[in-house]
Structure 1
Amino acid sequence: MGRLHEGVISVEDLKDILPPKERLEKGPVAIIECIESIPCDPCSLVCKQGAIIKPSISTPPRVDYDKCIGCGACVPICPGLAIFMVDYTYSEDKGLVYLPYEFTPLPEKGEEVIALNREGKEVGMAEVVKVITYPDKTSVVCIAVDKDLVMEVRFFRRKENGEKG
């Protein structure tokens, strides 16, 4: 049993909807951590590949990993901030996590930040690789983390003045 009963979704809760290892090794891919049966569908409407499947407006979305090209259009559109993109092919020891971000000021490329898991606990250091902004939309921050943390990291916090990593 996962941790959802405690208010925190876990990889265990998501095991049946996460992409297979073979797909993760091909490049960027969307990860949808929405398990709520609520009326919502912007993710399926924005996906030009038809990779996000919602049989009804209240069904949690699922990704067709054979169709997903990792474009990231779904990440900033989710009102629940429940869509991420991961890329295991970034480097030999680092992977990328693309995160929806709604705070200001935005972090800067090259900034060292503290990676957080789904519970908000610190799990390691990360580097901001890219910041993508959209007019009137949620920004997306791409961070590089150790590969073993890619499926665990779901946010970050910026260092406070003088704080060491």
Structure 2
Amino acid sequence: MLEETGIPDREDIQNNLPDEERLKEGPVAIFECYQEIPCDPCYYSCPLGAIKEFEDINNLPELDSDKCTGCAQCVANCPGLAIFVIDYTYSEDEGVIRLPYEFSPLPAVDEQVIALDHSGEEVGTGRIVRVVNNENQDKTAIVWLAVDKDKLLTVRHFKRMEESADG
């Protein structure tokens, strides 16, 4: 229950998803913005115009999923860390979630991690497949995390294995 816990439930998440056909086509942005606040960097960061222009800066973003290629520019530029890219086409068994990462040190490619849900609960394991960190991302790296396909809509972060062993 988002209003009480700050954690979106399955229905909140489902309401922001592109249709199933689009999800099967490849990477696409998922917006988990739930509060109308003055914020629009995602609109200005999209090189393809996939995020519709805001009539009011307080409006929630709207995605034209047919234009979205999953480039993740909006992910890196979202100050609320509320945008993710999911890709069901990564492999037969795994999907990839591209998520913002603002910690140091950055994880390494092929590093095994513990996948976490919206509330920080462990939901399985994952593998880092790519880390993108360039100048135009305003110090927000994009980590590509491979997880079982049935976890793509659940996983929203990860915990490094050495963190688990230490604490």
State the TM-score, normalized to the length of structure 1: 0.93
1:1-165 equivalent positions in 2, closer than 5 A: 2-53=1-52, 54-135=54-135, 136-160=138-162, 163=165
Shift of 1:14: 2.7
Shift of 1:21: 0.9
Bigger fraction of residues in helix: 2
CA contact (8 A) 1:118 1:152 kept: yes
**SS at the partner of 2:142?**
strand
Counterparts in 2 of 1:162 and 1:71: CA distance versus 1, 3 Å: closer
State the TM-score, normalized to the length of structure 2: 0.92
C-alpha distance after superposition, 1:66-108 (max 9, x if no partner) = 1111111111100000010000000111000001000000000
Distance in 2, matches of 1:125 and 1:107, equals: 14
Residue segments in structure 1 that go unaligned for 5+ positions in a row: none
C-alpha distance after superposition, 1:6-52 (max 9, x if no partner) = 21112311322211111110000001101111111110011121111
Distance in 1, matches of 2:157 and 2:108, equals: 15
Distance in 2, matches of 1:67 and 1:122, equals: 33
Give aligned-pair identity as a percent.
51
Residue segments in structure 2 that go unaligned for 5+ positions in a row: none
Query: Across the two proteins, how many residue pairs are aligned to each other?
Result: 162
Distance in 2, matches of 1:150 and 1:45, equals: 27
Runs of 4+ aligned structure 1 residues displaced above 4 Å come to none
Shift of 1:5: 2.6
- Structure 1 vs Structure 2 CA RMSD: 1.5
CA contact (8 A) 1:4 1:10 kept: no
CA contact (8 A) 1:26 1:89 kept: yes
